[in-house]
Amino acid sequence: EPSAAGTRTCVLFDCIYKNLFVCRFVNQVGYQSYIRTSVYQKYLQEQGKQAPPIANAGRDAIIQPGETVLLNGSESLALNEAHITTYHWRQLMGDPGLTLEKTDHPDQVRLSNLKPGSYRFQ
């Protein structure tokens, strides 16, 4: 509902459904969101220069060897009316023999040829 100040209130009580996080938040004119002070200080407080985007690759995933998995950056956030124009994925940890290929979506990559172990991507 719009308030006298022209802002609207939206309250979420539960974002977990069948053990999955199902909420997605996007900026929308007329709405305000609240963030941790540490995030504000790191990304928003500095004035006079454009803050870097906040990259979010989503939750950790557990899959079986041989399965294919998609990583996407759709939850990443550009600040102060900026826009994300490109995405670059790189492997930080895990078997280097995996296959990483682009998809039709600019924020997404497909991983295959995964072996048992832990992987980390940025």
**Model confidence pLDDT, tens digit, residues 18-74:** 655 555 666 666 555 555 566 666 655 655 566 678 888 778 888 888 889 988 888
Higher-confidence residue: 21 or 117?
117
Q: In angstroms, rounded to a whole number, what is the distance separating the alpha carbons of residues 94 and 75? A: 24
pTM to 2 decimal places: 0.56
pLDDT at residue 34, rounded to an integer? 58
DSSP 8-class letter at 54: B
Q: In angstroms, rounded to a whole number, what is the distance separating the alpha carbons of residues 7 and 98? A: 48
pLDDT at residue 1, rounded to an integer? 46
Q: In angstroms, rounded to a whole number, what is the distance separating the alpha carbons of residues 102 and 32? A: 34
